């Protein structure tokens, strides 16, 4: 009952006319911040060699901002108070451009980590506010499409951010890759200022509503699944470049193209999963969990084979491309009357899982090597499959 009141109170009046350019701006904003988050994955080896630290330590460049984003995501929606959301998003995009520029100029690991802390703050803020943009920008009948476009930036960045950074890094160096992201963030800021209407605040999310959302068993299962799926994926994928170089035997010039192929497969996976999750979300989550676990087993089985590694990378992209859209679909079905608090928790879980996965993977790689890390990540994905099976079995009660 309280969830229903809070959701209605927090939702501002729908606009008379849709602001589709502003919706596109929201999609570009999420693309820019998530690409910035994942950019180091395709550049780990080059950064580590240039600055002078181990590949495992380089994983902190992913885990630090993700952890901060997880902490900031639910709190930003409370702390923002009555400030116009248009203004907050503008400042966050400005800070994102500054953070990328600082990464490009970083002379040391400490400088890099400080810049990544700023990235984490921007991530938590943009994700949290972006999750509620659709209802402010389009009429109710178009909210579904607008939400897909805004979160499509997350999906596109998840599958294209790594290969994009790797390609630029291979062609012009890792510092140029971060500099390019600074330019992109500045362009998105300009688009935002031009297209985004004022976003006055209705009734903001409270700490009480955040606590109440966690009493929803369907949401709790979804958060557990998100943690296991995303952490298991990033535990292995953070170190995909070292794997392709040292285990599959590819030369450096192949990495950018391989990761772009992974990204293309991920876009297809996102489309397939999105269509199926709308109708059969439980089964879709089971298929994704099983596919990711099976992919890592195949990666181990084809170790030493370049063609085998390339084929598995395509299957990996196809499987992971559907994660974000499927998890968000489940969140909306499990907590339809508390969308903003539920989405904030989902964003927090997603980013915490990125942090935990890359951190655990870094420790495993440094202590036990790439093969042991991949096997441990596979075990985590098997656990995710178990949670997905529970969701499917309890589906009628959880979404009633």
Position 1 scores a pLDDT of 36
Are residues 112 and 60 in contact, defined by beta-carbon separation less than 8 angstroms? no
pLDDT tens for residues 251-262? Answer: 777 787 788 788
Measured distance CA(182)–CA(245) in Å, rounded: 28
Residues in CB range of 246: below 8 A, 6 or more apart: 370
Are residues 274 and 330 in contact, defined by beta-carbon separation less than 8 angstroms? no
Highest mean pLDDT among 10-14, 128-132, 147-151, 380-384: 380-384
Highest mean pLDDT among 1-10, 23-32, 297-306, 390-399: 23-32
Position 191 scores a pLDDT of 95
Position 17 scores a pLDDT of 66
Report the share of the chain in percent with pLDDT over 70: 89
Measured distance CA(68)–CA(109) in Å, rounded: 18
Domain 2-398: assigned CATH number: 1.20.1250.20
Q: Which residue has the tokens 């959880």?
A: 398
Position 222 scores a pLDDT of 92
Show the tokens assigned to 179. Answer: 């500099």
Position 13 scores a pLDDT of 54
Report the share of the chain in percent with pLDDT over 90: 24
pLDDT tens for residues 367-382? Answer: 888 889 999 999 999 9
Measured distance CA(281)–CA(276) in Å, rounded: 7
Are residues 381 and 299 in contact, defined by beta-carbon separation less than 8 angstroms? no
Domain ranges of the chain: 2-398
Position 4 scores a pLDDT of 38
Residues in CB range of 55: below 8 A, 6 or more apart: 44, 45, 48, 239, 242, 362, 365, 366
Residue 92: band (very low, low, confident or very high) from pLDDT cuts 50, 70, 90: very high
Position 5 scores a pLDDT of 39
Q: Which residue has the tokens 């009628």?
A: 396
- Average pLDDT, rounded, for the chain: 82
Position 289 scores a pLDDT of 95
How many Cα atoms within 13 Å fall on the side-chain side of residue 331?
A: 26
Residue 166 phi/psi, 5-degree rounding, is -65, -40
Measured distance CA(208)–CA(77) in Å, rounded: 12
Measured distance CA(387)–CA(250) in Å, rounded: 36
Measured distance CA(331)–CA(120) in Å, rounded: 23
Q: Is 345 left (phi over 0), alpha (psi -120 to 50) or beta?
A: alpha
Please count the residues of the chain. 400
Please report which residue ranges of the chain form alpha helices under DSSP H.
Answer: 2-10, 20-38, 44-51, 55-58, 60-79, 85-105, 109-130, 134-137, 143-172, 174-195, 207-213, 217-237, 240-246, 252-277, 281-301, 306-320, 323-334, 339-368, 370-393, 395-398
Cα torsion at 119, 122, 128, 134 (round to 10°)? Answer: -110
pLDDT tens for residues 104-137? Answer: 988 887 888 888 888 888 888 887 777 667 777 8
């Amino acid at each position: 009952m309280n969830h229903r009141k809070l959701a209605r109170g927090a939702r501002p009046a729908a606009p008379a006319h849709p602001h589709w350019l502003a919706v596109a701006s929201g999609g570009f904003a999420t693309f820019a911040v998530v690409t910035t988050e994942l950019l180091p994955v395709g550049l780990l080896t080059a950064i580590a060699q240039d600055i002078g630290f181990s590949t495992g330590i380089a994983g902190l460049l992913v885990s630090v901002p993700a952890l901060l984003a997880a902490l900031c995501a639910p709190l930003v929606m409370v702390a923002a108070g009555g400030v116009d959301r248009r203004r907050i998003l503008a400042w966050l995009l400005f800070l994102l451009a500054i953070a990328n520029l600082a990464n490009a100029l970083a002379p040391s690991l400490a400088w890099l980590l400080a810049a990544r802390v700023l990235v984490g703050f921007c991530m938590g803020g943009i994700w949290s506010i972006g999750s509620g943009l659709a209802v402010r920008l389009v009429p109710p009948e178009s909210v579904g499409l607008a939400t897909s476009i805004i979160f499509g930036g997350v999906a596109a960045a998840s599958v294209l951010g790594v290969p994009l950074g790797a390609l630029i890094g291979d062609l012009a160096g890792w510092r140029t890759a971060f500099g390019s992201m600074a330019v992109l963030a500045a362009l998105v800021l300009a688009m935002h200022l031009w297209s985004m209407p004022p976003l006055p605040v209705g009734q903001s999310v409270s700490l009480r509503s955040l606590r109440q959302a966690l009493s929803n068993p369907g949401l709790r299962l979804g958060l557990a699944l998100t943690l296991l799926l995303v952490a298991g994926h990033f535990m292995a994928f953070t170190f995909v470049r070292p794997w392709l170089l040292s285990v599959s035997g590819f030369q450096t010039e192949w990495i950018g193209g391989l990761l772009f192929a992974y990204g293309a497969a991920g876009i297809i996976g996102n489309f397939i999963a999105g269509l199926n999750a709308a109708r059969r979300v439980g089964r879709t989550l089971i298929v994704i969990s099983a596919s990711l676990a099976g992919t890592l087993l195949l990666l181990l089985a084809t170790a030493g084979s370049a063609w085998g590694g390339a084929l598995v990378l395509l299957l990996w992209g196809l499987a992971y491309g559907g994660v974000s859209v499927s998890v968000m679909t489940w969140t909306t079905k499990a907590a339809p009357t508390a969308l903003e608090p539920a989405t904030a928790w989902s964003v927090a879980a997603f980013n915490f899982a990125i942090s935990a996965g890359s951190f655990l993977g870094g420790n495993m790689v440094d202590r036990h090597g790439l093969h042991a890390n991949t096997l441990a990540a596979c075990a985590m994905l098997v656990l995710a499959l178990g949670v997905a099976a529970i969701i499917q079995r309890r589906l009628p009660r959880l979404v009633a």
